[in-house]
């Protein structure tokens, strides 16, 4: 594998991208303050001190919220909350300052600066994220990465990185003294180049810049020595922690003496937070049904005229706690759209999409491509059978089959099924990897928050727009 080198790679993966973020934020915040003063006919002076202090205060708040740290995956939606929160805190601090000094600023002045700052900083952040993503996905920027541990977890991490260049890490090899066979780990996208003791020589050959520790049979003392050597060679070190399936972004670091303890904060699907989620789901479903009523009527007429049969297609699915319900869709196939008897999905793949002979109507093809056939599930949400966001529900016969063969499959039934989900926005729709889908569904449950739901809904909207092009 030939990895890129040059100015773009150095800029994006070095300090350049952080400097660009700080610079754009600084320009945006100063522009917001200048705009607010110009709008109100003010000139710089002691009377406008809160406006003058607003840009540096906001920059400090952004730094405190760790918005300038390098992330593996730079997504604009991930930064919306921290950036908006930091700018809001800075604006409120300036309002308090103006109040304490009995300042002459009108209330609307800081409001204008705040609104413009949000817009301009957001625009700059989105531009930098697009630049970073373009540089990585186009192959112009990458960080060669070595993985210690060529077992199941190490191979899985390597496959994820190879399939998602937007992370900016390209696996170039494994270090493992006793690597299992390829077939035992599901395949490895890079060769085993030696054992951890060969780190320095392998780094010299591969020009690796990152070291990722996955599970290995080596004793902890040897792995610790490997980390120290990697740090001495200037590598950035990451690790996959033990018990990673029980961890989420709410883990609490709480040392006892010199020993670090990680407090696990589990997701409670029966807690008050999920009650808020379900109430919100029903309200949004009702609003969307009312807003989309004209479109729903047009689609219903088109489906009815496309071929004989009912407008809605009903199919038994399994939702929360293993309870079955009738999932609703606009009919997209001739006759009744029931899958041929005896259909069995390919090994390792989830069912879905076109099963057996293609019996879609012309209207049905358009509805499937744009996901408009899923809109009747808003009724499922309104009735409390589904959520807007959650794991996609499956048919009872497949649930029974997959539960027996696939580890943690039944864990996804801890929450209500969703119209869209974390797996779907990552391209796992239709006949795609079942193991990957289960992994992402359970990740969603463990890391659930209302903010994550909003992000999934936003990305679903843009994904549907791209599919309709």
Residue-wise pLDDT tens digits, 388-443: 999 999 888 888 888 877 888 888 899 999 999 998 888 877 777 788 888 889 88
Query: Which pLDDT band, with edges at 50, 70 and 90, does 299 fall under?
Result: very high
pLDDT, residue 130, reads 86
pLDDT at 336 over 60: no
Percent of the chain topping pLDDT 90: 37
Q: What are the beta bridge partners of residue 327? A: 315
Give the contacts of 464 (CB within 8 A, at least 6 positions apart).
370, 371
- H helical segments located in 164-250: 182-185, 199-206, 220-232
Q: Could you tell me the CA-to-CA distances from 159 to 165, 185, 408, 409, 415 in Å, in that order? A: 11, 11, 20, 21, 28
Q: What is the mean pLDDT of residues 210-214?
A: 92
60 vs 338: which has the higher pLDDT: 60
pLDDT at 43 over 90: no
Per the CB < 8 A criterion, the answer to whether 324 and 306 are in contact is no
**CA–CA distance, 38 with 418 (Å, rounded to integer):** 48
pLDDT at 61 over 90: yes
pLDDT at 14 over 60: no
pLDDT at 337 over 50: no
What rounded mean pLDDT belongs to the chain?
A: 85
* Domains recognised in the chain with CATH numbers: 7-137 (no CATH), 143-240 (3.40.50.620), 272-468 (no CATH)
**Listed ranges 295-299, 336-340, 455-459; the one with the highest mean pLDDT:** 295-299
**CA–CA distance, 34 with 66 (Å, rounded to integer):** 26
pLDDT, residue 210, reads 92
Which of 241, 287, 251, 270 is CA-nearest to residue 416?
Answer: 270
Task: Give residue-wise pLDDT tens across range 348-368.
Answer: 566 666 666 678 888 888 998
Sign of CA dihedral 394, 400, 401, 407: positive
**How many other C-beta atoms can be found within 10 angstroms of the C-beta atom of residue 22?**
15
- Tell me the two tokens of residue 47: 């009377």
pLDDT at 326 over 70: yes
pLDDT, residue 10, reads 56
pLDDT, residue 80, reads 81
* Residue 257 DSSP code: T
Query: Which pLDDT band, with edges at 50, 70 and 90, does 1 fall under?
Result: very low
Task: Give residue-wise pLDDT tens across range 73-108.
Answer: 767 777 788 899 999 999 999 888 888 776 677 778
Query: Which pLDDT band, with edges at 50, 70 and 90, does 26 fall under?
Result: very high
pLDDT at 469 over 60: no
**CA–CA distance, 252 with 144 (Å, rounded to integer):** 31
10 vs 275: which has the higher pLDDT: 275
**CA–CA distance, 300 with 297 (Å, rounded to integer):** 5
Query: Which pLDDT band, with edges at 50, 70 and 90, does 378 fall under?
Result: very high
* Residue 372 DSSP code: G
Query: Which pLDDT band, with edges at 50, 70 and 90, does 286 fall under?
Result: very high
Q: What is the mean pLDDT of residues 160-187?
A: 87
* Pairing relationship of beta strands 312-318 and 324-330 according to DSSP bridges: antiparallel
pLDDT, residue 270, reads 85
pLDDT at 332 over 60: yes
Angle between helices 293-306 and 362-370 (to 10 degrees): 140
268 vs 3: which has the higher pLDDT: 268
Give the contacts of 350 (CB within 8 A, at least 6 positions apart).
394, 428, 430, 431, 432, 433, 434, 437
pLDDT, residue 92, reads 92
**CA–CA distance, 82 with 114 (Å, rounded to integer):** 15
């Amino acid at each position: 594998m030939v990895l890129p080198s040059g100015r773009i790679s150095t800029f994006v993966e070095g300090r350049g991208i952080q400097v660009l973020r700080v610079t754009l934020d600084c320009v945006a915040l100063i522009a917001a303050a200048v705009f607010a003063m110009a709008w109100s006919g003010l000139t710089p002076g002691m009377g406008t001190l809160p406006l003058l202090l607003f840009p540096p205060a906001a920059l400090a708040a952004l730094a405190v919220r760790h918005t300038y740290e390098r992330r593996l995956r730079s997504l604009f939606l991930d930064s919306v909350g921290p950036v908006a929160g930091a700018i809001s805190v800075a604006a409120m601090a300036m309002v308090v300052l103006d109040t304490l000094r009995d300042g002459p600023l009108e209330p609307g002045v800081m409001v204008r600066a705040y609104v413009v700052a949000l817009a301009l900083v957001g625009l700059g952040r989105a531009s930098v994220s697009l630049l970073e993503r373009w540089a990585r996905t186009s192959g112009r920027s990458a960080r060669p990465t070595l993985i210690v541990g060529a077992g199941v977890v190490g191979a899985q991490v390597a496959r994820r990185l190879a399939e998602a260049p937007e992370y900016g890490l390209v696996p170039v090899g494994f270090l493992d003294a006793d690597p299992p066979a390829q077939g035992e780990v599901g395949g490895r996208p890079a060769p085993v180049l030696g054992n951890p003791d060969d780190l320095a020589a392998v780094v010299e050959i591969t020009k690796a810049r990152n070291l990722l520790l996955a599970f290995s049979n080596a004793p902890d003392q040897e792995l610790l020595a490997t980390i120290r050597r990697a740090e001495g060679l200037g590598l950035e070190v990451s690790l996959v922690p033990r018990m990673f399936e029980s961890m989420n972004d709410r883990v609490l670091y709480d040392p006892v003496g010199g020993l670090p303890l990680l407090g696990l904060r589990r997701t409670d699907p029966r807690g008050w937070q999920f009650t808020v989620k379900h109430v919100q789901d029903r309200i949004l479903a009702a609003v969307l049904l009312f807003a989309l009523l004209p479109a729903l009527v047009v689609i219903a007429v088109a489906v009815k005229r496309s071929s004989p049969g009912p407008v809605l297609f009903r199919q038994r699915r399994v939702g929360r706690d293993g309870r079955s319900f009738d999932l609703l869709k606009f009919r997209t196939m001739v006759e009744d759209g029931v899958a041929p008897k005896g259909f069995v999905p390919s090994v390792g793949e989830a069912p879905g999409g076109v099963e057996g002979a293609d019996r879609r109507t012309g209207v049905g093809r358009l509805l499937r491509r744009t996901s408009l056939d899923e809109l009747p599930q808003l009724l499922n949400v309104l009735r409390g059978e589904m959520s807007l966001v959650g794991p996609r529900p499956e048919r009872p016969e497949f649930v029974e089959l997959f539960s027996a063969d696939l580890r943690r499959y039944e864990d996804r039934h801890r929450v209500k099924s969703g119209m869209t989900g974390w797996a779907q926005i990552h391209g796992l729709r239709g006949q795609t990897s079942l193991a990957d889908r289960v992994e992402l569904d359970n990740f969603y449950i463990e890391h659930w928050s209302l903010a994550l739901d909003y992000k999934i809904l936003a990305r679903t909207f843009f994904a549907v727009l791209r599919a309709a092009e």
